[in-house]
Structure 1
Amino acid sequence: MDKIKVLSIFGTRPEAIKMAPVVRAMQQDDRFLPITVVTGQHREMLDQVLKIFKIVPEYDLNVMGKGQTLSTITNKVIIGLDTILENEQPNLVLVHGDTTTTFAAALSAFYHQIAIGHVEAGLRTWNKYSPFPEEMNRQMVDDLTDFYFAPTSQSAENLRKENHASEKITVTGNTAIDALKMTVQDDYQNPELNEIFDKGNKVVLVTMHRRENQGEPMQRVFRAVRKVIDQHEGVEVVFPVHLNPKIQEMAQKELGNDSRIHLIKPLDVIDFHNAIARSYFVMTDSGGVQEEAPALNKPVLVLRDTTERPEGITAGTLKLVGTEPQDVTNAMIELLENQSIYKKMASAKNPYGDGDASLKILDEIAKSIKR
């Protein structure tokens, strides 16, 4: 029987982390002929993940440019994929999540009349500008998709509400949990992080980067964080600061020159996952971290007004706090001072699966693709 040719495409660090377990599993599965394409939408951070997971792409579109816009990324990806799809003629194009790479790749596959599989399909906020542009990227991709790999029953139900065929929807769990099995280590060592975590203080891990939070919302959060740290001596913050110059500048302005607030360079995936595992709780506006931290029994304060991951709110692993200073302050103090609430969030059941999402995805592809 002919092997199934699957072209997997991704371009950002979060996509790469979540697609790496799928690509690695495919490389070890005789049913498949995998082809990997990266767009380089996030260049340096993407390359870091590829190296860690030992993935060598067959194609690299290298679209990242100075001052790039959503329009230029979309245009470069569609044009760059034209020749690749014509030459390779895969049975399936596999995309992930909600990035501009994801939308442009799905549109290109549609133009070439090639079947599309969407990993992490069905997440919704129902607000087209929150998160921006991710919410509409995901909705538009799902309108083009042939095979939906939904991480939870809630995301599958969202797809059914939009009249996507039930027989094309498979609940798989989230591949982020698969990745954690490959990165979190009992004997993990990092001298820079060890120096912080080994003091015995409560360490709060912070990440913040979303477009809609840049500017005043981010400033409000940073000031709230500093206020809480100033009032709690046994607490420290680790903040791997995004490479965006505007975020770097604001972080230094609002959080710099404090011995218990550590503004560090972005961490690779192994360092970051192990930092989550050693932290007390996490504050983030990232989507992926909302899945990763609960799997490691860490409460998460979500620095957004909406989330496309409501399962975590329902389960009690996440708390949506937004960016208003008093809300952020209250939520931090509650987790730092109220052990009952902390333990309840830390022990809540992770709703995102048990780490076998990649195998479920491959089995469904093998069952569904006509060769």
Structure 2
Amino acid sequence: MANNISLIPPAALEKRPAQIVSEITQKPLRLDNFIANLPCMAFQLVLESNGVFSFSYIGEGSLALLGLSPLQLESDINTFLHLIHPEDSPSFRESMEHSAQTMSFWSWEGRVTLANGEMKWLVLGSTPQSGENGKIEWEGLAVNVTKAKLDEIELLRSQQQLREFSSHIQDAKEQERLRIAREVHDEIGGLLTAIKMDLAWIKERLPKSKKILTDKTSAIENMVGKAMTAARNLAHSLRPGYLDSFGIVAAIEMEASEFEQRTGIKCLLAHNEEEDEELELHPDVSIALFRIFQEALTNIMKHSRANKVEVLIHNSQEHIELTISDNGCGFSQDARSKPRSFGLRGIQERVAHFGGEVSISSTPEQGTRVYVKIPHFSGDSPNSARLARTQQSLF
């Protein structure tokens, strides 16, 4: 026949059958060498129907990863289990059992402590397969992610330190505001009151014939009255006195009323507290909620073009919730991500300071909703409780 076409490369035709068989048998060896040179440990794990599990294969990478030879790990899986950090051991077994029950991908992250005391973070990943006699087999990799995990922990620590610094600044600002408000109210307000009383005393004793003097005294008296009003408003803006005297619900109610009178935007308030019950919060939480409410109203006044605001305060045994909703123009995610969106970021930082939750949702032309939830605290300051939770999550 003419034009015969051979599917076998000419070089292969020159090889003897024994040579071809030799190359085929060398492929698993080359694969083992490839796996051994990876910065991880290949493994095969078998779970018997009676719940006993063991390694049926361990790659050479175990020596670099765990300081143990494959033979040591294959002969007794407890050699590996004893390396797992006590806090991470339950999650290892639970994640494996869940993978076996659901036949889903097995993913586990945890710490191991080597014989020399070195601690490493491992990530293990594998897909289960059904074997004979009800066995379940996993073939996967255990990867050393210590550097990445330490970098992650350091990043979280840095973020926490920045949050601590931001919280410290907020606390310092509130203390300074309180000090200035008291000085304005007590010192300046007291002096202005004394001046007004002296002016009234002088005015009563001026001759009625001295109209120019009495008119001038009246004008000065009016200016002193305006100064007293300005001082009172300044002290209120720095630290609303009724927040400390009557609590957060009354403070928000009065602030909402003043906002409605000032802007013409209707402000409706609802809460689940009885009239004869006073909501008791940690002072730091109260001022934080009040500042969040002020910031939300400022944003509504400046940007929303809304004509109605609804405020809901809901208190439970575990936490307090504050929701502020408007029917304004809303904003897009891009607008929220602008570099100078400090108002929304300030709200998030205040809530994070107490380990709470915040949700800011908005859709163009459909309004904006700010939801804040802060847990109640007893005994120590909210800051100490939040620090304890953060440290526990890091380590």
More strand by share: 2
Q: TM-score range by the shorter chain?
A: under 0.3
Relative to the length of structure 2, the TM-score reads: 0.19
Relative to the length of structure 1, the TM-score reads: 0.20
